[in-house]
Amino acid sequence: MADNKPADPAKDGLQQEEKLEEMLDRLNQVHVQLRHLRSALQRMLAPLTTKQPSPQAAFAAYMQSVDRANKEVASFREALVGLHSDGVFAQAGASQKANPKGIKAWRARDDPDWADPDPKVKRSRIS
């Protein structure tokens, strides 16, 4: 027979908080990848700006950098699709629809370390 005990609200709250923390970590990882992609074009073109011993060597170096940039973009796309398929954005939208008036608009001045890529630094300042 199934055990019909009432759910423990404290335990459910902790599980929900852990899930939200995991989602925030995944969002942060995607954010770091996106910030890294900002310089992908410069890194891709860098072999063309350096002197190479031959045109074939220049082409080979350029193609390697293009391949690396392509892999970075594919990794970012995969991570972003993973967020969509796991429902991270849907859950955020659902919580906003459930309580649209309770969401405070975020301002950069409220969090001066928002652009810091190290999440440990942010958490240590919060704690």
- In tens digits, the chain (127 residues) has pLDDT values of 455 555 566 677 777 778 888 888 888 888 888 888 888 999 999 998 999 899 999 999 999 999 999 999 999 999 888 887 777 777 766 666 666 666 677 777 877 777 777 766 555 555 4
pLDDT of amino acid 127: 45
Residue 68 near residue 60, CB atoms below 8 Å: no
Residue 69 near residue 43, CB atoms below 8 Å: yes
The domain limits of the chain are: 27-91
Taking the alpha carbons at both ends of the chain, their separation in whole angstroms is 44
pLDDT of amino acid 83: 80
Write the secondary structure of the chain as one string of H (helix), E (strand) and C (coil).
Answer: CCCCCCCCHHHHHHHHHHHHHHHHHHHHHHHHHHHHHCCHHHHHHHHHHCCCCCHHHHHHHHHHHHHHHHHHHHHHHHHHHHHHHCCHHHHHHHHHHHCHHHCCCCCHHHCCCCCCCCHHHHHHHHC
pLDDT of amino acid 111: 78
pLDDT of amino acid 19: 81
Whether the CA torsion 11, 87, 39, 43 is positive or negative: it is positive
What's the rounded Cα separation, in Å, for the pair 89 and 24? 11
pLDDT of amino acid 54: 92
- Residue identified by tokens 């309770």 is 102
pLDDT of amino acid 69: 94
